[in-house]
Structure 1
């Protein structure tokens, strides 16, 4: 019989880390669960800088971990939001083919969506798609009526309250610098305030079980803890533009392009937000810093020399870059020109009022990359002894968060002796 852990730590207060900590506190009622978050609040990074879409599971390889956890995660979010009064709106989504070259790819997505059990998906012709979105233009569309929108920050904060109500602790302003894996426990070492990159750390105690959900810093924390350096995180920023009021009414739900296998990123799309505004974006361009969200310092944003040096010193990045020159050129246009950015959205909704569109927030994506330059598409969760790490949780990570939490805790419990 496995011993029950009494001291549990989770690193990272994004939606996945907070969901994992909550799941641990609910599953092990006699244990003390501590969530370490380096910022002064939850959801400070990827969770608080995304479009708020609850994905239905259209694109993912049938049977993959991503596909399974996405569908399970949607069902769990629906129940959770209903029980906790968190706004959740099934506004629906159209994936729109602009020309006949995209039709075959769209039909393949439709087949995947059906295989993944996405409910009530249909292919719509020109007239049918305009019944859903009067302003849209295209030759064929896939309609997913149950794709939804939510405020993921509000959801994360609610999960944090659940954690505390179950007896868990949240330690804010506590950056974990290193984890020392011992025979039957893990020692957590915190970075000293203002001592970025220093080898001097503060002992935060030993734990029977530790789970890390470090997002943009997942590879760095792994290396500092003596674990594998790959996959590496290469940060890509994504800008949004925003329309509010009458201009936002040009779109009822979500309008997406058909993914092009020649490009590693999706391209600009249109997304209604839970507050009624309309988001355009995001694009995707190499970020000069893992946590640089500023736009006021220029179109490319803020600079962190340590982050940039790590990216430029990674052979996988250069292989990726050499394989994706066309994609880089496409994304550079939208990164440097607001007019080009808005024009990408107007391909789908020509009547969108460009004069009412203003710069919005910026997010930074933790893109995991292999040494051969390929992008890591699925979730990556690894374990060593009493330490379990979420190394990669790309979209639909937020959608899948409650299901990922159960899966990760199951994996972590297996490590107990």
Structure 2
């Protein structure tokens, strides 16, 4: 009998295993991952940015956890010799109507306790010589790292504490018992007193296995990237972001220097027809049908139809994608870009068409479900894991919601 069974071996699941081992050194901890490696989905396909927390609503869990997480992640990397670089980033306005939004973002950064600096167009060019803008914000605490490398260290530390980590083990059923759950998997049966659902793209389905009723449905959005050719990497020194649309949950196409020296451009954000759909041609009938028959999706589309159409057109037209990038760096040309990997974001969507904006974790009886943990969850993973480890100490027979 395990004390805790974690479903999902992404960065949140692994951090939770590590945090539980620290908090409850005598506990028996099990982590189940259906893939053959850790961090195979959202974590392993993200941009590798250590976010500052400038975008998030003051007082939200995203804001608090990201601000603290950017420090704890850097400290963790320093302690364990993980390659990282606190290189900073610039957020720039390229149109006059973006200037008030840029000022709002600057004020939000101050409210969130960040070191942010207003900079002129000339100062932007001192940092990023090839960027053309009207004004900008410099955020010095933003960094880059390989989150796959971070996850490998999380797994090593959790195992050293005694956690039982199982790859190639997909959960098939979760049956409630008098003292917890019986778990049937593709690689054996287990029983546990408490289940922690960190299944990411499949978290709502795992929750349903426990007879929980998820408050939101996961809708997958694919983020597609291009990569600058090696001879054009000089165009980007650090990280370059546009002013985001405050009514849309994505940050807009931007330039990211990766920890391996490559420079990625993107992503756009398009509906994926498969929860693990990393290619345009990927399709799963069940995944597609669930989205198409979900009223919340159509309510979302009614609000953001224009933005959605633009994202789809950019997905199929490299010329439109390049135009978006040229707003930041006019020198970029189509021949300077080659396609690279895509990622899929597990976005929780409410029945009323509202995107869940904050981290959302709900405890029901002997289970805690992480329903929404997209970016900046990797940055905040140490803080999220510690919060979950503290949360499960609450009397497990009560229902507790952990969201803002």
Give the shorter-chain TM-score range: over 0.9
Whole-angstrom distance in 1 between the partners of 2:336 and 2:114 = 35
1:257–1:267 contact (8 Å) kept in structure 2: yes
Q: Would you say 1:142 and 2:142 are equivalent positions?
A: no
Q: What TM-score do you get using the length of structure 2 for normalisation? A: 0.95
Whole-angstrom distance in 2 between the partners of 1:225 and 1:177 = 11
The correspondence for 1:319, drawn from 274, 277, 299, is 299
Whole-angstrom distance in 2 between the partners of 1:241 and 1:270 = 10
Distance 1:162 1:244, change over 3 A: farther
- The offset of 1:178, in angstroms, is 3.2
The correspondence for 1:356, drawn from 332, 336, 356, is 336
Determine helix, strand or coil for the equivalent of 2:114.
coil
Q: What TM-score do you get using the length of structure 1 for normalisation? A: 0.92
Instruction: Tell me the residue number matched to 2:400.
Output: none
The correspondence for 1:13, drawn from 9, 12, 16, is 9
- The offset of 1:65, in angstroms, is 1.1
Instruction: Tell me the residue number matched to 2:99.
Output: 103
1:33-64 deviations in Å (ceiling 9; x for gaps)? 11100000100000011111110010111111
Whole-angstrom distance in 1 between the partners of 2:76 and 2:247 = 38
Q: Give matches, 1:9-408, under 5 Å.
A: 9-119=5-115, 121-190=116-185, 192=186, 204-294=189-279, 300-408=280-388
1:216–1:290 contact (8 Å) kept in structure 2: yes
2:2–2:30 contact (8 Å) kept in structure 1: no
1:186–1:387 contact (8 Å) kept in structure 2: no
- Segments of structure 2 that go 5 or more residues without pairing to the other structure are 398-404
2:201–2:220 contact (8 Å) kept in structure 1: yes
Whole-angstrom distance in 2 between the partners of 1:291 and 1:371 = 22
Instruction: Tell me the residue number matched to 1:199.
Output: none
1:284-337 deviations in Å (ceiling 9; x for gaps)? 00101000213xxxxx33111110011111110111111111011210121111
Determine helix, strand or coil for the equivalent of 1:324.
helix
Whole-angstrom distance in 2 between the partners of 1:31 and 1:262 = 44
Question: Over aligned residues, Cα RMSD in angstroms?
Answer: 1.5
2:364–2:396 contact (8 Å) kept in structure 1: no
Whole-angstrom distance in 2 between the partners of 1:77 and 1:11 = 23
Whole-angstrom distance in 1 between the partners of 2:67 and 2:10 = 20
- The offset of 1:262, in angstroms, is 4.6
- Segments of structure 1 that go 5 or more residues without pairing to the other structure are 194-201, 295-299
Whole-angstrom distance in 2 between the partners of 1:181 and 1:339 = 53
Whole-angstrom distance in 1 between the partners of 2:201 and 2:358 = 16
Whole-angstrom distance in 1 between the partners of 2:29 and 2:138 = 42
- The offset of 1:27, in angstroms, is 1.9
Whole-angstrom distance in 2 between the partners of 1:412 and 1:222 = 16
- The offset of 1:265, in angstroms, is 2.8
Number of equivalent positions: 397
Whole-angstrom distance in 2 between the partners of 1:63 and 1:229 = 24
- The offset of 1:183, in angstroms, is 4.1
Whole-angstrom distance in 2 between the partners of 1:315 and 1:224 = 22
